[in-house]
A and B are shown apart, each in its own frame.
Chain A
């Protein structure tokens, strides 16, 4: 990444700290999910997948928001660093949305009797997944780096238009998808809510650590390319 503002030494500390924090918080989240949160009365232990499902969905959507915002910043300032952030966040976000879909299907079978149903939020989640697979394919199919960044920024912005629809779809139509947070408060017990918040924090830290690693990788690739060009001239 030409002109990267963060020094290698600084990045190392940040990277190590983030990796350490994410490991610690993830272990804590695992303990709370299996050792602290109560067993749900109706669904039993299968309900525990909810803590991973919701947390990965949150991180996935947050990752796409970062891609969207970084895309706008790239178009506004033509700074390649924002493109690197957008790309990295989409990759990490795609991994987490994949996890959301898989955990959702595992939960849906015992809860609803089917792995999949065309309920609005599920549909929009699937569409999100497809959009970011398309985003990744677009990235890999453009030869010019500048053009790739520009096209990806536009696609990332247009694709994110569907996120608010996904968020509100559950309220626009009377979906069978559970609503954890509504105008009447949270539909879970305090220990469950605490476990959910710790999971959300842990997944967010994992996202940040992975994002940083992807950015560092892109940085290294750019410096290698710059060295190659310098060697050619």
Chain B
């Protein structure tokens, strides 16, 4: 079963996570997102509605996506984050960089 879906709406990509964003998911998600971005897109939105846990590998992946998109003046957003995930990202001073919105 796939652990995410990627949907395109013009220049905007929506990454819907169907579970946690961890070291087992990133090696599959990263090339899928890179491939989608190669076909175009400057805005990526991650939907965390079904995500309970994100680990440091998942955080590193989000920062890598941000760094990559920033080079073409793109943006990364996280929506539907739990309060736990928001506080974790806040403690790392990443909540503004990743435009995190909670549930």
Do A and B make up one complex? no
A interface residue numbers (CB < 8 A to B): none
B interface residue numbers (CB < 8 A to A): none
